[in-house]
Amino acid sequence: AAVAALAFARPEHANKAYELTGSEALTYTQVAAILSEVLGRPIRYADPSAPRFWRRMRQRNYPAAQVLVMIGLYTVCRLGLAGHLSDTLAKVLDRPPTTFSQFARDYASVWRR
């Protein structure tokens, strides 16, 4: 959001495309561990198979197209294909990106609801 605000506010960002990533490439298991620590309760990544995930999400009435996109995204992450990091965000903002741990702490009250 901070980069989007800059893109609208500063003309030097007009018509530019940026590759934006955080400063860390976390697995779902690592994300669960961070959330467990921040929330003070166990959070576990279930790691369902694609067919099981499909069945469960469709039983919950998620649209088929949305479930297929989710399966594609999760598969990319599972295969380690989403681990590329860039320093563009830090350069554009002139500060380090927020870590997931900090993000989790900042929004812990939302997850506790």
Q: Do 1 and 12 lie in a common domain?
A: yes
Question: Has residue 34 been placed in a domain?
Answer: no
Question: Has residue 35 been placed in a domain?
Answer: no
Q: Do 20 and 44 lie in a common domain?
A: no
Q: Do 92 and 79 lie in a common domain?
A: no
Number of residues written out for the chain:
113
pTM value is: 0.80
CB 26 within 8 Å of CB 35: no
Parent domain of 74: 40-83
Q: What is the pLDDT of residues 86-106, one digit of tens each?
A: 999 999 889 999 999 999 999
Q: What is the pLDDT of residues 11-69, one digit of tens each?
A: 888 888 888 898 999 999 999 999 999 999 999 999 999 999 999 999 999 999 999 99
Q: Do 93 and 72 lie in a common domain?
A: no
